[in-house]
Amino acid sequence: MAGIKPDTLYSDNLVDITREILVFHNYYFWGCGKTVPVGSIEKIETLPPGPNNGSWRLWGSSSLMGWMPMDWRRPGRDRIFLLHYKNKKFQIGFTVEDSFKVRDVLGEMGLMKR
């Protein structure tokens, strides 16, 4: 979270959101992040937490179709977010510290599935 840009709409220990990019912290091994341009996102949906939605997947993937950045507190989170890329089957599942705020921000950006 160090170096938060003034145009940041939401930031926590797991993700930063601006109008141009989403940054997932601790996406790759060794704590490296992943930046996703907003223009490459088709939609983001929310799922209730549960074993079938990845609530116990602390980091990584059970298939080659998606990935979840590290979140040691994921089992206690209230929502799982699922990012769908445009023209790709690969997805990113992620959690945040304030799901209500993130749903509002992503909704205002037109990214939330209706």
The answer to whether residues 47 and 88 touch, using CB atoms and an 8 Å cutoff, is: no
Residues in the chain: 114
Structure confidence by residue, pLDDT tens digits, 72-92? 999 999 999 999 999 999 999
Residue 3 lies in a domain: no
Residue 100 lies in a domain: yes
Residue 1 lies in a domain: no
Residues 1 and 14: their CA atoms lie apart, in Å, by: 9
Task: Check residue 3 and give its pLDDT.
Answer: 56
Residue 2 lies in a domain: no
The alpha carbons of the chain give a radius of gyration, in whole angstroms, of 13
Mean pLDDT confidence for 56-74? 88
Residue 69 lies in a domain: yes
Return the structure tokens found at 66. 């998606």
Mean pLDDT confidence for 86-101? 95
- The gap from C-alpha 104 to its chain's centroid, in whole angstroms, comes to 14
Judged against a pLDDT cut of 70, whether residue 1 lies above it is answered with no
Q: What are phi and psi of 75, to 5 degrees?
A: -60, -25
Q: Work out how many domains the chain is built from and give that number.
A: 1
Specify the residue for token string 């769908």: 84
Residues 23 and 2: their CA atoms lie apart, in Å, by: 13
CATH (domain of 42): 2.30.29
Task: Check residue 70 and give its pLDDT.
Answer: 94
Task: Check residue 30 and give its pLDDT.
Answer: 76
Structure confidence by residue, pLDDT tens digits, 32-61? 899 999 999 999 999 999 888 888 888 888
pLDDT bracket for residue 5 (50, 70, 90) = low
Question: Can you give the residue range of the structural domain that contains 70?
Answer: 8-108
